[in-house]
Structure 1
Amino acid sequence: MDSNPQTQKAQPAGAPANAPRRRLFGGVAGGVLVAVPAKTALGAVCKSPSAMISGNTSPRTGDGSTCSGGLSPGFWMTPQHSPHWTVAGAKFPTFKSVPVLCGAKPPDLSETDILTPGTLLTEAGFVGAPAGIGLWQALAYETKYTQLLRHLSAAWLNAGYFDSQSQNYPLSRPQIVEMWMAVKNGGTYCPSALLSCGNNGWTASDVIAYISGMYDVQAAVPNLCKGT
């Protein structure tokens, strides 16, 4: 379960609790935000916000591809999954001492252990994010760099990794950056495909709920540490 510990040590993240989430859904350009349980219809919410407005509840896009909800921050931050960063088109950080890939505990890694930060938030397009801070740091130290950057960083990696017809992430990287730009200073997000969302735009909390509510849907990956 995602937590928000009062420490700067990295904490693994799982799926959020089944609390009610606000979702954009409807059949007209205005759309409405309605409350639905986060885990009641995972296939139905595994799609882009603009697709949700179309009223199409199928997890398939219509072109033969299957929607993948991606993997959580806890997956992306652990050392044994660093090869997946390469597939996603990103650089995993390096550390002053080499972590045991299939045994290291993320809480044992602090920011002072980082030798090179890997792909930076600003390199990923998150304008206004802390300078010199990597995606991994945003994933690992959410109390310092916010839950918003944590989940957007996971989404950014998911968008690069799940880009095949069998597993296709519902957000593109430009859309993820668009979300950041819209809500980072307290604003609301409305998909650019819509003329207006009126008063129903998504806040930062809504963006987090949307991204985290899809984790692990059609997101099977190779087990790099079998037997451990």
Structure 2
Amino acid sequence: MRRSPLDRLFPKAAILSALAGVLAGAALLATSASRAAEDAVVIPAPAMDEPTADGLETAVVAGGCFWGVQGVYQHTAGVVNAVSGYAGGTKATADYHTVSTGTTGHAESVEIKFDPKKISYGKILQIFFSVVHDPTQLNRQGPDTGTQYRSAIFVTSEAQKKVAEAYIAQLDQAKAFKRPVVTKVGKLEAFYPAEGYHQDYLTLHPSQPYIAYNDLPKIENLKKIFAENYLDKPTLVSDAKATN
């Protein structure tokens, strides 16, 4: 077979080698961008917080894939249960397959039951903004894209609404992040627990590549930045069910 002038100037082996280098570089950049999304940011505590009250309180937050969000709060002292699920849409569409289309209004969310005498709502939010996710990413989180991965706080009371909105304004004013916070605050209409195989996923599958790369660093960040709030042994959904 005759070789063209281009073949002589640029042998195929060299072209393939160069192409491989370009692809590897692009993959590295993509990986770096994804990894950066999981880096924690040290931020000030909220200037406004709820007063301490008796009994358990519920907080619902959304910050990307619920596996990592749930995992962080299961390692947080004062949290008695953290359940992966869906909020923002209707009961009819509250299943993983349908929510994954990004057309239901649902966000992958976590319902957090906590003891306000051991951890405040403000501290729950500080952990949320610091180590759980990047609140400046709109309708995405790290490698996941779509409205189901949006940053949101679903409040259960007027007091929670005031604390959440004041904290977002405080963080923006302090320029705690390089970009504005895009987290939306809205009333919780309903929370629907996710399928059983999604519960305790981080603990049950620590070597799963997505968990190992995207979510285990969040647990390490919690341990490092919020050492006084860190639990080494996670509080699992399966444990909570066994005690009820």
TM-score bracket for this pair, using the shorter chain length: under 0.3
Normalised by the length of structure 1, the TM-score is 0.27
User: Of the two, which has the highest radius of gyration?
Assistant: 2
Which structure features the higher share of helix residues?
A: 2
Normalised by the length of structure 2, the TM-score is 0.26
